[in-house]
Amino acid sequence: MTNFFIAEQLGAQLIQKGDETRIVYLSVDSRTIVAGMSTLFYALKTNRSDGHQFIRHAYDKGVRNFVISNAGFSVHKFPGASFLLVADTLAALQETAILKRNSFRGKVIGITGSNGKTIVKEWLSQLLADEYNVIRSPKSFNSQIGVPLSVWLLDNDADIAIIEAGISQPGEMELLQRIVKPDIGIFTNIGEAHQSNFESVEQKIEEKLKLFVGTDVIIYHKDYQGITDAIGSLAEHKSLCPITWSMMDETADLFIYFVQKIPEGCGIIGQSGEKQYAISIPFSDDASVENACTCLVALIAIGKDQDHVLNRFSNLQPVAMRLEIKQGKNECIVINDSYNSDLNSLTIALDTLDQQASQGFLSKTLILSDIFYSPKTDEVLYAEVAELVRLRMMDRFIGVGPNISKQAHLFGDNAHFYESTLEFLNELPLLEFKQEAILLKGSRDFQFDLIATTLQYKAHETVLEIDLSAMVHNYNYFKSMLKPDVKIMAMVKAFSYGSGTAEIARVLEFHHADYLAVAIADEGVTLRNAGIKMPIVVMNPEEHSFDLMIEHQLEPVIYSLRLLDQFIPYAHRSAVSYFPVHIKFDTGMRRLGFDSEDELKKLLAKINKTNELFISSVFSHLAVSDDPDEDAYTLMQIDRFEQLAAVVQAGCDHPVMRHILNSSGIERFTDNQYEMVRLGIGLYGISVVNKKALMNVSTLKTTVSQLRIVRPGDTIGYGRKGVAMGDMVIATLPIGYADGFNRHLGNGVGKVWINGQLAPVVGNICMDMCMVDVTNIDVKEGDRVIVFGKELPASEMAEALGTIPYEIFTSVSQRVKRIYFQE
């Protein structure tokens, strides 16, 4: 399709006309553009951002075709570009995808449900790869934006397209149905996800079923009674063919009557008509069994249930639902996406590589294995990979595997090839990785985790996992509550509440937070050295660091006349002009800040004598914004804040930003957002107002080092405080108070989560380890242990200690390795 054809089909007004261009890519994010000349950029408007602000960035990256909705946009500033004016750019994106869907000649399988959509999609693709040319939506692209971008990937060389669709509220699925128009539908299951946005589970099921309007075949798990009832009602009025599987109902099209789990996997036997099916999968969890059965009945429905296809169940690859980012040796960053490998997921992973490399001033290295499950010839496949490597300007490319090695001639001089992972590991010490962002992208068979382990820094078995996708979700949750022009200052002080400063700052910068706030100047310098360019405020500045602050453009908080008098000479000596400062008021915390109009007038007089300083904002801290019983005090603080802010504004000849709301304030006092808010603990998943709306970000994990049987009367640990009252099984864990596991959690006060059960701490906690009671838990050495996380919230540990989650998060020692991951 060309840009002009799309304009005509959309009914768009071509307000500036450039050259006619074949459109290969659609983009809604200027940061991920690769081939600008063949890209059509949609300037989406949301309650969080306006894509028109990023047209210049996209233009500078070579884009010459834009879809906009702002009729007053200055298109003349972009010579040679075509601008398509529409009423709604998101609707235009969706209509463009419909054009592609209508031209697709293959079969489309549409998948919806609360859980398992992505895994069923990926597994079906693996099972059918040798039979058909299969296209699937990338990772979990299933939203109002993700679905049209997925459908745009449809290619008439493909036989089957597998597209997943998800909704979060009523009214969304009708749009997705027009885009996907599935020939075959799969409804995986129903659960609690997004339930708060629906009146009932029944309403949510009905909304999800709208994906299958006009679909002849719907595949589903009959044991979900709500789904069965809804589809039964639907089938009464339409020529619909439900195909079901069940573990309870023998009348289902596929009845699963035998499941045997072993540590290495699971055997499944079922009956469909006169035919018996037996498959084995390399997973034993209940979710994998359910997903495998859904895939099996789907194969039966499309007539691909031959033995050679069913045998592939035993080789199913795990679906990497997350991409891990770890600190590497020699100032490297290691991005581990080493569970599957294909062009779509490679492209997405390269976006993360670009982000990490650019923000950390690092060179880019891609280590890629042979790509399995592609219908293309190796020559065509790796030619596309080589072109992607060229477009992404890799500084170093390493191919691992016999197939990619045979295509070495397609790659440039900076490419090296190895027949196996072992051969690469033997050569690795000679390769001298230094100051590089390294992406590991490989199929599971190549065991790239061995490479990741070799490259990463620190080997302590206790780790703190940081879910960056969850953090972005929390950020967007709070941003959705704000008026469009209200800015966000994100708090990253105290090592980002224990999560790691630079990595968190990169994510916040990428998602357009307006300011970062740190406690002391050294934290800000660390961010600048990591490549963070956005404004940074220092909440507790000290005189000895003023030179550093000015050198690194770190904006100080001024909370007293004494501090102002100390800072002005440094600003004068540095010959700065209008250096931003932020004025703090004390409205009731009785901690730091100006609390009288007279002091503020003196401050204004000093600042207005010189052009060296510029009051950027005024702010105060709320003492009890999370406590409804103290709302009168909070409102008093807000009223006092407005009085003091008015004094400062009256003394300035420019607008001064105001901010007083913290995380709980954003949720509870929406009328007092002013020009900016400060987002702190809410970013990390803690809310006293709407806990279900936020996602857990930090998970502290360790492992079982050793199991030991103790007899009645035996004592455990220092001081012999743990006493066995009967036969017990004790697990020793490599985490102690030096890691941040508070010593007061000993002797049964604290608990950890092992294999789905709570295990109390036995005896005193040691510096580097502790012991827990696993007498009634099925556990083995090496098993993972959750100290706090989704299953065992940090708030419960805080309650046991009589403290707050802030202290739990910030107490995790820096010797504990941080592992970052995202979808």
**What integer pLDDT is reported at residue 734 of this predicted model?**
96
Instruction: Give the tens place of pLDDT for each residue, 378-437.
Output: 999 999 999 999 998 999 999 999 999 999 999 988 899 999 999 999 998 888 899 999
pTM of the predicted structure, to 2 decimals: 0.75
Beta-strand relationship, 757-762 and 751-754: antiparallel
* 3-89 under CATH 3.90.1150.10, yes or no: no
H-helix or E-strand spanning residue 206: helix 201-209
**What integer pLDDT is reported at residue 142 of this predicted model?**
77
- What residues act catalytically? 493, 718
How far apart (Å, rounded) are the C-alpha atoms in residues 763 and 748?
8
**What integer pLDDT is reported at residue 41 of this predicted model?**
98
Structure tokens at 203: 């309403």
Longest dimension (CA), the chain: 93
Count Cβ neighbours within 10 Å for each residue of 146-155 and write b for 16 or more, e otherwise: bbbbbbbbbe
> Which regions of the chain carry the CATH code 3.40.1390.10?
3-89
**What integer pLDDT is reported at residue 262 of this predicted model?**
82
**What integer pLDDT is reported at residue 598 of this predicted model?**
96
How far apart (Å, rounded) are the C-alpha atoms in residues 75 and 66?
10
Residue 214 CA neighbour count, 13 Å, CB half: 12
Count Cβ neighbours within 10 Å for each residue of 328-352 and write b for 16 or more, e otherwise: beeebbbbbbbbbbbeebbeebbeb
How far apart (Å, rounded) are the C-alpha atoms in residues 331 and 465?
20
Instruction: Report residue 683 CA to chain centroid gap.
Output: 13
Q: How far is CA 93 from CA 7, 32, 100, 594, in A?
A: 11, 17, 11, 51
**What integer pLDDT is reported at residue 236 of this predicted model?**
57
Give the N- to C-terminal CA distance of the chain in Å, as an integer: 31
**Going by C-beta distance under 8 Å and a sequence separation of 6 or more, which residues neighbour residue 311?**
none
CATH of domain 323-457: 3.90.190.20
Domain formed by 467-693, architecture: Alpha-Beta Barrel (3.20)
Cα angle 108-143-792, degrees, rounded to a multiple of 5: 120
Q: Give the DSSP per-residue string, 445-485.
A: GG-THHHHHHHBS---S-EEEEEHHHHHHHHHHHHTTS-TT
CB 567 within 8 A of CB 551: no
How far apart (Å, rounded) are the C-alpha atoms in residues 362 and 435?
5
> Which regions of the chain carry the CATH code 3.40.1190.10?
104-315
> Which regions of the chain carry the CATH code 3.20.20.10?
467-693
**Going by C-beta distance under 8 Å and a sequence separation of 6 or more, which residues neighbour residue 812?**
464, 498, 698, 700, 739, 740
**What integer pLDDT is reported at residue 167 of this predicted model?**
87
**Going by C-beta distance under 8 Å and a sequence separation of 6 or more, which residues neighbour residue 252?**
222, 244, 245, 246
Q: Give the DSSP per-residue string, 637-685.
A: HHHHHHHHHHHHHHT-SS--EEE---HHHHHH-GGG-TTEEEE-GGGGT
Q: How far is CA 512 from CA 66, 534, 595, in A?
A: 21, 9, 33
**What integer pLDDT is reported at residue 460 of this predicted model?**
65
Assign domain 104-315 to its CATH superfamily: Mur-like, catalytic domain (3.40.1190.10)
Q: How many residues does the chain have?
A: 823
CATH code matching the domain that covers 698-822, chosen among 2.40.40.20, 3.40.50.410, 3.40.50.720, 2.40.37.10 = 2.40.37.10
> Which regions of the chain carry the CATH code 2.40.37.10?
698-822
CB 176 within 8 A of CB 147: yes
How far apart (Å, rounded) are the C-alpha atoms in residues 437 and 349?
12
H-helix or E-strand spanning residue 495: helix 493-497
Q: Strand order of the sheet with strand 25-27?
A: 13-16, 82-85, 65-68, 39-42, 25-27
Q: Which residues of the chain have pLDDT under 50?
A: none
**Going by C-beta distance under 8 Å and a sequence separation of 6 or more, which residues neighbour residue 267?**
258, 259, 260, 278, 279, 280
**What integer pLDDT is reported at residue 372 of this predicted model?**
80
Please state, as a whole number, how many other Cβ atoms lie within 10 Å of the Cβ of residue 285.
Answer: 10
Instruction: Give the tens place of pLDDT for each residue, 496-550.
Output: 777 777 889 989 998 899 999 999 999 999 999 888 999 999 999 999 999 999 9
Going by C-alpha positions, the residue among 244, 246, 251, 281 that lies closest to residue 266 is 281
How far apart (Å, rounded) are the C-alpha atoms in residues 564 and 558?
6
Q: Using CA of residue 74, residue 78, residue 83, residue 89, what is the dihedral sign?
A: negative
How far apart (Å, rounded) are the C-alpha atoms in residues 155 and 237?
34
How far apart (Å, rounded) are the C-alpha atoms in residues 64 and 80?
7
Question: Partners of 39 in the beta sheet?
Answer: 25
How far apart (Å, rounded) are the C-alpha atoms in residues 356 and 821?
13
CB 735 within 8 A of CB 787: yes
Spell out the alpha helix ranges (H) of 219-303: 225-237, 286-301
Name the phi and psi angles at 583, rounded to 5.
-100, 125
How far apart (Å, rounded) are the C-alpha atoms in residues 247 and 670?
49
Count Cβ neighbours within 10 Å for each residue of 502-531 and write b for 16 or more, e otherwise: bbbbbbbbbbebbbbbbbbbebbbbbbeeb
How far apart (Å, rounded) are the C-alpha atoms in residues 48 and 508?
13
DSSP type of residue 152: T
Question: Partners of 188 in the beta sheet?
Answer: none
Cα angle 681-623-478, degrees, rounded to a multiple of 5: 35
CB 164 within 8 A of CB 126: no
**What integer pLDDT is reported at residue 320 of this predicted model?**
63
Structure tokens at 302: 């499309």
Going by C-alpha positions, the residue among 581, 586, 671 that lies closest to residue 631 is 671
